[in-house]
Structure formats: C-alpha cells, structure tokens
Chains A and B, each alone.
Chain A
C-alpha cells in the first residue's frame, strides 16, 4: 500500500432494518434483516468501545429507524461516556413522549431528520405512510425544544425535485442549522427504482441554481450541503472519502462494511464483529484492503492526477454498470464506458414516460424483492 493505514474517524451504525417508512430509494440492502438478527445491547456497546479505541470520533446512529431500538438511550450514553460525537439519523415517526428529551439527557449531540417531501402529500406518498409529514414536523419541534441541534435531510429525485425551494424554507422555519439536499444515489433500492426516480436534466440544472442562490442568501443562517446526482456529472464522487480510508459502517447483525452497498460486490466476503475484533477487520480484512489506497487501480485511474481526489469513485457503481468493481467509476468522463451514463439517462426517461409514478415504485419492504422474483 502506498500510504500508511490511518485510523477511522467515522462510523455509521445501522442498528436495525425495521422502519415505519418504505422509501423506494432506501440505502439498506434489498435483503433486509429481521429483528431477530440484530446485535444485542452489550455487543453494540462493546463494538462502540473498540471503535473509540481505534480512533473513531463520530458515530452516526441510523437504521432502518434507530428509535425502534428500545436501548437507544443506553447506546447513546455509552458513546457519550467515551467522548464520541453522536448523531441520530431518524425518520421522526412514532417516537414516544419524553424519549427525545431522554436522548438529549443521555448526551446526544445532534439529530438528523429526514423529510421525503416539503409538502405533506409528497412525504406521505414517498414513504408510503399517511400522516408522516405532520409527525416529522412535530419531531423537529420537540428536538429544538430539547435543545438539540438539527439537520434536515432531503433525498431528492424526480418526484420532489421541484420542491427544493420549499425544502429550504421549511428547514429555515424549523430552526435547522443544516439542510442536506442529497440527490438519490442509484444503489440498492434506488437502483431497483431508477426508472421511477431519475429526474430530468433541466430540473437538475434549475436545482443547482436554486441551491447556489440559497447558500448565498443564507450564509451564517443555515448551512446547505448539496449532493449532486452523479449520473449527470463528469467526475465521480470520492465515495466514502475513499474505500476503507477514514470511515466504515456496521449492519444490524454486526457485519462491518466499507460502504452501504459493498455487499453488491460478489467477489468480496465481509466479516462480522464479535467473530473478529474491529481492529483486525479494519486492518486485515481482505475486503477492506481490496480497494484501499491507489495500488488496486486500473487505467485510466492509475495514472490520473485526480486519483487521490476521487479515489476512483464508487466501487459499487463500477460493479453495477461496468460489471467490474475495480473499473473506473463510469460517471468519470475518462471512463471508456462513460457514454453509457447518457444512454441510461435516456433509457430511464423513456421508461418513466410509460408508467405512472405510484405504480412504478417498488416500496422498501422485507420480502419485496422475493415477491418480484
């Protein structure tokens, strides 16, 4: 390896795959784990402790819906006692009275709340859950009342891209410090629903202008993080800041992964915490070392001046589109198959014209994929 192995800074803990929402772009895998596969409280606490020893400074508690774990307060308290910065990533539905305050008391540093739409009808339709928008607004108010800093997360696709100005106004009015306008990444459920989700290029251009203007206008008032849709880009994103470079994630059953979609790469075998220590997995796991640094790269990445800027882009996208996880991410203009991205955009636009949106969604549910097969 060309550079020394650094300790990880961030960890995403997917505490459960259970969720009241069924968003068709969920970043969980198509094969969802049931509750009986989830790690118990003590194992999560051991894992957090090892993560802290290894150098992790921030833990994002996610899911599924992490508040469905009855031991969430305990997990937050365990992390807080070790000085870890904790961020709760929630859909904000069905959180019992008093619990948000209990999270804050346990030492929660920050809460990130998703909104599927800026309009109630959109939120309810995308998550396939009636009344969810209202509940989310209430969660935002309760979080602010409990003194918690707030980020609003808005996953963007063709059915809500025109609501971007409303998302911005809503986040300001809720008192959020941060808003994420995050265009859906086509892996997992989003890949299965790509035809229904891909926006038009004109809408994407409008969105970029709206966000740029809002950032200017809201300087010092609210931060806006913008994740552009990469099918329309010329350079790939530095996915996870580089494979196994400074962050990792853990699934509900303790499988340790370099990124959300890593299990879509069939040649890799991932290890579970408890069967092996976290330090061993981070350092020695063949799957973690497979795409670390730059040695694994093929041309055009290998000799590219951007190789340590974008780290070859997304391995899972290379797998999905180029059929080779070690290929250049086809989003990159230097990829020999970059032209395929434009063909895919055209193809999805034609497919989207033929179907009405609701019929087109494969909603995220346990077993949804087996039903399809």
Chain B
C-alpha cells in the first residue's frame, strides 16, 4: 500500500509540475494551455506566472518574493494568493510539492 499523504503548501515547499502535467503554447488558439489527463486548462496571466516558476528548484517563499517584485505588489497579498493557488492545484494533483 502506497502511504501517500496530502501535501500542504509552506514557504519552504519546492513546487514542480508532475509528469502528467505540462504547459504548452498552442499556436492555433495563440494561448498557453495546461495539459493534464482528460482536461485542458487555459490559465490567466497570473496563474501562468506562478506555474512557470514551479520548476522544482524555487521555494514558495522565493516565488512570492519574485512575483511581488515583478508586479510591484505587497508581499503579504501576493503570498496569500500564491499559497491558495498552489494548495488548490496540489489538491488536484496538478502541482507537486
């Protein structure tokens, strides 16, 4: 029995995309698609910016700081959004923590 547990996002988590999920530019629709088994997602710009940083090297803390700088926004506000987004995507097994 594989003893797996629900992963919870923390600032030290290092998110990556699992093997069954990939981001791909679709030239027909001229947009980025997230491909997963059975489903195709069309992320908005902010979601895409988060997902692109899920590279298996950057911590969540680092991703938040990076995005706050890029969007010229408060770290706290960015943190709440990023953590909620990653938890939701992790719960759907679309992001690995």
Which A residues are within 8 Å of any B CB, using their own CB?
A: 7, 9-10, 53-55, 57-58, 83, 85, 87, 109-110, 112, 147-149, 151, 172-175, 177-178, 219-223, 225
Contact = CB atoms under 8 A, between A and B. Distances in A.
A110 B94 CA distance: 13
A151 B37 contact: yes
B interface bracket (residues with beta carbon within 8 Å of A): 20 to 34
Interface string B1-18: 110111100000000001
A177 B20 contact: yes
Most chain B Cβ neighbours within 10 Å, of A10, A85, A225: A85
Nearest to B2: A175
B28 A7 contact: yes
A171 B4 CA distance: 12
Contacts of A151: 37-38
Nearest to B18: A149
B19 A219 contact: no
A268 B76 CA distance: 59
Interface in B1-48: 1-2, 4-7, 18-20, 22, 24, 26, 28-29, 33, 35, 37-38, 40
Nearest to A52: B28
A220 B7 contact: yes
Contacts of A112: 37
B93 A9 contact: no
Contacts of A109: 19-20, 22, 35, 37
Contacts of B4: 172, 175, 221-222
Query: Counting chain A CB atoms within 10 Å of each CB, which of B6, B19, B20 scores highest?
Result: B20
Contact of A149 (B19, B28, B29): B19
B85 to A, nearest CB: 14
6 contacts: A7-B28, A87-B38, A112-B37, A172-B2, A175-B2, A177-B93
Nearest to A148: B19
Contacts of A178: 37-38, 93
B37 A149 contact: yes
Given A85-B22, A223-B92, A223-B93, 16 more contacts: A7-B29, A53-B28, A55-B29, A58-B40, A85-B35, A109-B19, A109-B20, A109-B22, A109-B35, A172-B1, A173-B2, A175-B2, A178-B37, A220-B93, A221-B4, A221-B6
B29 A173 contact: no
Contacts of A172: 1-2, 4
Nearest to B33: A57
Nearest to B92: A223
Contacts of B38: 58, 87, 151, 178, 225
Contacts of B6: 219-221
Contacts of B35: 57-58, 85, 109
B59 interface: no
Contacts of A177: 18, 20, 37, 93
Contacts of A110: 20, 37
A9 B28 CA distance: 10
Given A57-B35, A178-B37, A220-B6, A173 B91 contact: no
A5 to B, nearest CB: 13
Contacts of B37: 87, 109-110, 112, 149, 151, 177-178
B18 to A, nearest CB: 7
